[in-house]
Amino acid sequence: MMEAEQYDAIRQRVELRFRHRYAFFAHVAVYVLVSMLLWLVYGLTAGMAAEIASQFPIAGLYAILAFPWPLVIMAGWGIGLIAHGMNYYIRYGEGAIRRKEAINRAIEREMAWRMNDEKPKNDVPMRLTDDGELEVVEDEPSLRAKRKNQ
């Protein structure tokens, strides 16, 4: 029974991750399609800016009408799209993996700090060989005497 519950919990987490991924890709697709539609409308109506400005003699009206307004919409929506992508990355992508690893390292450091107030001692006598390797020193009478005096 326990395995079935674990399987269901894991499946729900994986399905949630995939739903969020598909929602992000759908958001990107809608952004691209709507942006293309806005640029099409702008392209078809941009020629009318001079005609409208000539009928209404208001200072700066042509500049306002000729301004590429789809850029404003794309910039605002793009910020939201980037936030959506970052949210997915932090919750489910590499950001989540890095966060879990950093938390685990911090927990290990904290546990080691709380458990060991002092550094572990090396009771095995060792020496450095001519080629720079460490080797265990067999019990020599001079070492036994040093240990007794300590």
- Residue 144 belongs to a domain: no
Give how far the C-alpha of residue 57 lies from the chain's centroid of Cα atoms, to the nearest Å.
53
- Residue 146 belongs to a domain: no
- Distance (Å, whole) CA 69 – CA 63: 11
Outline where the chain has alpha helix (H): 2-45, 48-55, 61-66, 70-92, 94-115, 141-149
Residue type, 27: H
**pLDDT value at 78 more than 80:** yes
Q: What is the pLDDT of residues 118-144, one digit of tens each?
A: 555 567 777 888 888 888 877 665 555
- Paired residues of 60 in beta bridges: none
The count of structural domains within the chain is: 1
- Residue 143 belongs to a domain: no
- Coil, strand, or helix at residue 136? strand
- Residue 137 belongs to a domain: no
- pTM for this model (two decimals): 0.60
User: What is the mean predicted confidence (pLDDT) over 57-83?
Assistant: 88
pLDDT value of position 75: 96
Rg (Cα) of the chain, in Å, rounded? Answer: 34
User: What is the mean predicted confidence (pLDDT) over 9-26?
Assistant: 92
- Coil, strand, or helix at residue 47? coil
What burial class does residue 113 get, using C-beta atoms within 10 Å of its C-beta: 0-12 exposed, 13-18 middle, 19+ buried?
exposed
CA-angle at 147, arms to 141 and 148, nearest 5°: 90
- Residue 127 belongs to a domain: no
- Residue 142 belongs to a domain: no
Q: What is the pLDDT of residues 104-121, one digit of tens each?
A: 999 988 888 877 765 555
- Residue 33 belongs to a domain: yes
- Residue 145 belongs to a domain: no
- Distance (Å, whole) CA 61 – CA 78: 27
Q: Which residue has the tokens 């009206």?
A: 61
Show the domain range for 38.
2-120
